[in-house]
């Protein structure tokens, strides 16, 4: 089993490596990026006070603005600071396709020291209008915080595929009762364009 997995991984790397484009110049010099992500979210029942199962289909429009030039040249943490603004749409597929929509503001660090693949980390939060129909949430105006990590793989000089994981929390922050939080994991893929 391990040998098959290793062999499959090596074959994928061999196939995809020629597609990678040297993109260090654009990542190091771009002023902004625009991305569209989509994916699946699943609630962690019994994590904290979360009791209700919710599965989501997620679509997130993102605008990123770089705040710095490259920092730490030659070190493992070489990268750039970035401010991300997101407009999320989360559809609860197991609750009559009800939805959540809002806005997020996130801080990000994009690692620029690797060639072809660019990891990043991010954290932040925002406000959501939640219409999932859960009486245990107590309010439709809720707050979210989240953090995660992702990878960008360049296909062209200014275009990259993305894969991302994020931990995602929603609650009304004690402004109403009851206040059952929704703690979830989101697995997203997308494409980003650098400017």
DSSP at 32 = E
DSSP at 19 = G
Q: Cα 171–176–179 angle (5° rounding)?
A: 40
Q: Quick: pLDDT tens for 30-55.
A: 999 999 999 999 999 999 889 999 99
Domains, the chain, ranges and CATH?
Answer: 20-194 (2.40.160.20)
* Tokens 């989101």, residue located: 186
Q: Which two structure tokens, joined as six digits, stand for 147?
A: 């953090």
Q: Please state the length of the chain.
A: 195
CA distance 39 to 64: 19
pLDDT at 10: 47
CA distance 128 to 72: 36
Q: Quick: pLDDT tens for 71-130.
A: 998 898 999 999 999 999 999 999 899 999 999 999 999 999 888 789 999 999 999 999
Kindly report the backbone phi and psi dihedral angles of residue 16, in degrees, each rounded to the nearest multiple of 5, phi listed first: -80, -25
Q: 78: closest CA among 43, 118, 50?
A: 118
């Amino acid at each position: 089993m391990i040998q098959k997995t290793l062999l499959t991984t090596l074959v994928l790397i061999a196939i995809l490596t020629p597609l990678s484009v040297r993109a260090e110049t654009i990542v190091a010099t771009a002023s902004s990026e625009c991305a569209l992500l989509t994916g699946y979210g699943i609630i962690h029942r019994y994590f904290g006070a979360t009791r209700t199962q919710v599965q989501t289909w997620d679509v997130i429009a993102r605008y990123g603005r770089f705040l710095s030039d490259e920092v730490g040249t030659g070190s493992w943490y070489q990268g750039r600071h970035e401010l991300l603004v997101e407009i999320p749409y989360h559809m609860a597929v197991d609750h009559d396709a009800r939805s959540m929509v809002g806005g997020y503001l996130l801080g990000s660090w994009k690692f620029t020291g690797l060639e072809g693949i660019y990891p990043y980390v991010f954290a932040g939060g925002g406000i959501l209008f939640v219409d999932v129909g859960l009486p245990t949430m107590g309010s439709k105006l809720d707050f979210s915080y989240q953090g995660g990590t992702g990878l960008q793989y360049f296909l062209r000089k200014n275009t990259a595929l993305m894969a991302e994981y994020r931990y995602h929390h929603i609650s009304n922050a004690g402004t109403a009762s009851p206040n059952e939080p929704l703690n979830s994991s989101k697995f997203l893929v997308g494409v980003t364009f650098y400017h």
